Amino acid sequence: MIDETFLTTEEVLEYLQVNLRTVYRLIKAGKIPAVRVGRQWRFRKRDIDGWLDSQRPRSGRAAAPQAAPAPRPTQGATRPRVLVVDDEASIRDLLAKTLALAGCLLAFLLWFFVFMVIAGEWFSMWQSKDWNAQQSSFRFYITVLAVLIFLNQQDPDLPASETKRP
């Protein structure tokens, strides 16, 4: 009997031990066998196993002995962290959106501490006749708030699970 077991995207993630973005990138590039059923992807297990076998490097000689695994760093040693940005447009867009959100949050903190705490509380800016920055402060705050609301909207180009934040 033929094994016709189908896997969901989440099951393929666990089976291949990769990230969700990696699976979507492989699907989009046509490198992994997948079938779209409605709005979801399904994977035939035997096709995934065949694909995995085809990805292994082939050599003309007998199986070479495997190299010893690299030594794991000790608890005190830290490995350098590297930010890997894929060349795929959706991942670049997600990174740009994340950086824009971080910038807006920094702008909000700037508004709060500079205008509200320092100028407002320490120097009583609302009582000054020469320099009263309440209106410009309010415009700055509303602009940052509008950009934050815009950036926090669901991105229609990305699957819903990629834009969820913990």
In the predicted model, what is the mean pLDDT of the chain? 76
Helix and strand counts by DSSP (H, E) for the chain:
5, 3
Average pLDDT of the residues in 74-102 = 73
pLDDT grade for 161, boundaries at 50, 70 and 90: low
Q: Report the C-alpha gap between 93 and 164 in whole angstroms.
A: 14
pLDDT at 145 over 70: yes
**46 and 3 Cβ atoms separated by less than 8 Å:** yes
Neighbours of 155 (CB within 10 A): 14
What is the per-residue pLDDT across 25-84, written as a single tens digit (0 to 9) for each? 888 888 888 888 888 888 888 888 888 888 887 665 445 555 555 555 555 567 777 666
Which pLDDT does position 87 carry in this prediction? 65
C-alpha distances out from residue 15 to 22, 31, 43, 71, 79, Å: 13, 16, 11, 25, 27
SS3 37: strand
Mean pLDDT to the nearest integer, 133-145: 82
In this predicted structure, what is the pLDDT of residue 2?
56
Dist. CA 111–CA 120, nearest whole Å: 11
Q: What percent of the chain has pLDDT over 90?
A: 0
- Tokens 């990138």 locate to 25
pTM for this entry: 0.39
Cα–Cα distance measured from residue 147 to residue 152, given in angstroms and rounded to the nearest whole number: 8
pLDDT of residue 72: 57
pLDDT at 68: 53
Question: How far apart, in whole angstroms, are the C-alpha atoms of residue 153 and residue 131?
Answer: 37
